[in-house]
Amino acid sequence: MKFAGVRAVSVWLGLQLLAGAVCAESTQDFSETPFEQLVQRDVVPASKLAQQVSDSPSAVAIVTAEDIRAYGYRTIADVLNSMRGLYTTHDYRYEYMGGRSFGEPGDYAGRIMLMIDGYATQDSLFNQAYVDHSGLIDLDLVERVEYVPGTGSVTYGSNAMLGIVNIVTRQGRAFNGTQVAGEVFSHGGKKERLTYGKRFENGADVLFSVSALDTNGRNRYFPAYDTPATNNGIAEARDWERNKRLFGKFSYEGLTVEAAYVDRNKAVPTNPSYYAAFNSLFAIRDENAFLNGRYETDLGLSLYSSTRFYYGQYTYDAFREFADDSDGEKYGQRRFDGKWWGLDQKFVGNWFKDHALVFGFEYRNDYRQSFNWRYLSAAHETVRTVQEDYARRTFSLYLADEIRLSDRWSLNLGVRYDDAGDLAANWSPRLAAIYRPTVETTWKVSYSEAFRMPNANDRSTYGAMAAPEYVAATELVLQHEFSPRMRFTGSLYRYKRSRQLAYSPVADDYVPEGSSTSRGLEVELERSWESGIRVRGSMAWQHASDVRGAQLANSPHVLGKLNLTFPIIVDQWRVGLEGQYLGSRLALLQEEMAGTVPDQKRLGAVALANLTLSSERKWYGLSASFSIRNLFDRRYEVVSPFDWRPASDIPQDTLRMDGRTYWFQLRYDF
């Protein structure tokens, strides 16, 4: 059964090969054609739509700086929500990504890789991809976001298991001066940003940006706490959020040095555990920073080299109050700390006519993975501390070859070897075939395997049971360009995950023996017009199961997206209209408690709309954007990460989201 998909794909490949052989191979080699004849021939103009940068054989989704402006995106989560087959879930702490085979609450976003200019941003403790205001980058500094669905372990190793988000930052020359921006938004929010960008005569490019965000949030109501003892379910003034960001980039010749820093403080209105007190201060702090230096050069005509050094760090602080302090512990304080550095040397060799060889090695040292729990008395004296420390060194080798078989066929073969000191070594292979029967049509079929090492949090939580988990993915992609301004993308996939942690009643513990399957189909149509109108619509159907074989929680069967933008008032302004459909999905199975049976709620489907108006031109350096999110004020809920009931016995398996909210940004360039 495991290889049924692969077998089907090989049969399909065989059929296509046959079809390819039957059709006469038209040659694109014009070395024998007289130039006089060539200049008379019509060409199929190159696509005017955004093209993927990464050479992945999957169906990449792209959002550009123009889209970010047109649709008023403020966080990476907003961008992801507009992409085919993706959605995010907010629990008032973080925004979590959901997509093919992932999105289960409590999972963090750790099976997705989030990269900024080639640097993997996830922390070394939870491997969380920060896509909200705790993320590293202001969207005004983003040139494009690419989402590569599926596995990427062949290139990036552990964690690039179910998808890769690639963020490419803008060049200083895109600003060419100083920009100040001020924002106000619903619930007492404001943000300021100062950016300077410049390209100098000698080719050096500089970008520097600093920003601060501050919002009060609002009083939030939680039905499960609707008792007089717990403030009738209202968490009062416990929803504020603040962040500070710094970003700098310098590039000259082949050298690029980039650094980013974010410090996000958030009050969390939800109650994090059974023992914590509702409507008491539960504040978390996420501090992320990195330094990434890269030197790229050509060593002769056939060998390209990219040398990269990176350093990253992450700190998590949390403070909470317990409802019951009879054991003398009134407050809990957590401080988790991660530090790492790494070196990556990549070569691309073009020595052979029909081969492009990529090879190299990476060394990564997660030298600090520290967890500290401190329990304080009512008088704020330390009663008890728990300290755990972990570390990991990983050495990796990789090799890939892009083979051109003919004008129509090419193969992409690759393998990566990862050896972490504390785990058995692992090989991640990928095989892909790309077939271009015509100039406009591309077929891609791939089989790949990826893995994820247990992170420090897994090692702390599951001890000896923490083990690597795996996925084997088969995907078929069709891209067809009806015209340079209209493109269809379709994707059919099947993921088989294995060695997942699953609860075993026999062992009375979590054991790495679970497996699950996901399959789905995604289609997307994209079109633009010379007049500046752009439209993109997509549908995704998916069926994902969990380790019990049941439908995966928080994984809708259907997702739909529609984005439309067009200029108005003689091209002075632009309207961006966005529709998102999130199909019905299951909440977490609620734990059995005295007097209750386990149950699982199904949340109804919801359709949301967002509207943005942005200026296309600057008047005396001024430009502006205005957005309304949840335009029709839909009341809707999302799946919560909680599977336990508070004293009221009412489950808290869903969380109510915001109704209509507003956002206004004013920019001044000088």
Partner 1 sequence: MRIFFLLFSIWLAGGVLADSWGDRPDRVAEADMKAAYIYNFGAFMEWPESNRISFNICTLGDDKIGRSLKRYEGKLLSNRRVVVARLNSMAAISDCQILFVGENEVPNLGRIANELSQQSVLTVTDAPILSQVGVVITLVGQRLAFEVNLDYCKRANLKPQSNLLRLAKSVRKSD
Smallest separation (angstroms) from partner 1 to the CB of 32: 10
Q: Is-contact 396 416, C-beta < 8 A? A: yes
**Closer CB to partner 1, 14 or 659, in the complex:** 14
**Closer CB to partner 1, 86 or 356, in the complex:** 356
Assign 425 to helix, strand or coil: coil
Q: What is the spatial distance between Cα 426 and Cα 415, in angstroms, rounded to a whole number?
A: 10
Tell which residue, 454, 415, 552, has the closest CA to residue 495.
552
**Closer CB to partner 1, 22 or 570, in the complex:** 22
Q: Is-contact 216 235, C-beta < 8 A? A: no
**Closer CB to partner 1, 541 or 644, in the complex:** 541
Smallest separation (angstroms) from partner 1 to the CB of 256: 12
What are the structure tokens assigned to 287, written together?
């501090």
Smallest separation (angstroms) from partner 1 to the CB of 497: 17
**Closer CB to partner 1, 120 or 476, in the complex:** 476
Tell which residue, 160, 85, 152, 165, has the closest CA to residue 542.
85
Smallest separation (angstroms) from partner 1 to the CB of 522: 13
**Closer CB to partner 1, 19 or 343, in the complex:** 19
Binding-site ranges for partner 1 (CB under 8 A): 4-5, 8-9, 11-12, 15-16, 19, 24, 26, 28-31, 33, 35-36, 38-46, 173, 199, 202-203, 253-254, 296-302, 304, 350, 353-354, 404, 407, 437-441, 443, 476, 478, 480, 482, 490, 492, 494, 519
Smallest separation (angstroms) from partner 1 to the CB of 1: 11
Assign 489 to helix, strand or coil: strand
Q: What is the spatial distance between Cα 43 and Cα 41, in angstroms, rounded to a whole number?
A: 6
**Closer CB to partner 1, 100 or 452, in the complex:** 100
Residues in the chain: 670
**Closer CB to partner 1, 387 or 441, in the complex:** 441
What are the structure tokens assigned to 48, written together?
């005017």
Q: Is-contact 317 331, C-beta < 8 A? A: no
Q: What is the spatial distance between Cα 604 and Cα 142, in angstroms, rounded to a whole number?
A: 34
Q: What separation in angstroms does the CA of 292 have from each of 129, 171, 306, 315, 391?
A: 17, 16, 13, 18, 21
Tell which residue, 409, 401, 269, 290, has the closest CA to residue 341.
290
Backbone angles phi and psi of 8, in degrees to 5: -60, -40
Smallest separation (angstroms) from partner 1 to the CB of 353: 5
Smallest separation (angstroms) from partner 1 to the CB of 501: 27
**Closer CB to partner 1, 37 or 326, in the complex:** 37
Smallest separation (angstroms) from partner 1 to the CB of 50: 13
Smallest separation (angstroms) from partner 1 to the CB of 3: 11
Smallest separation (angstroms) from partner 1 to the CB of 358: 12
Q: What is the spatial distance between Cα 309 and Cα 428, in angstroms, rounded to a whole number?
A: 23
Sign of the C-alpha dihedral computed for residues 13, 19, 22 and 26 taken in this order: negative
Q: What separation in angstroms does the CA of 382 have from each of 273, 281, 377, 423?
A: 21, 18, 6, 36
Q: Is-contact 520 85, C-beta < 8 A? A: yes
Q: Is-contact 609 660, C-beta < 8 A? A: no
In one-letter notation, the amino acid at residue 53 is V
Smallest separation (angstroms) from partner 1 to the CB of 347: 11
**Closer CB to partner 1, 254 or 537, in the complex:** 254
Q: What separation in angstroms does the CA of 565 have from each of 285, 618, 624?
A: 37, 19, 16
**Closer CB to partner 1, 300 or 505, in the complex:** 300
Tell which residue, 96, 199, 50, 171, has the closest CA to residue 528.
50
**Closer CB to partner 1, 406 or 584, in the complex:** 406
Smallest separation (angstroms) from partner 1 to the CB of 473: 13
Backbone angles phi and psi of 340, in degrees to 5: -155, 160
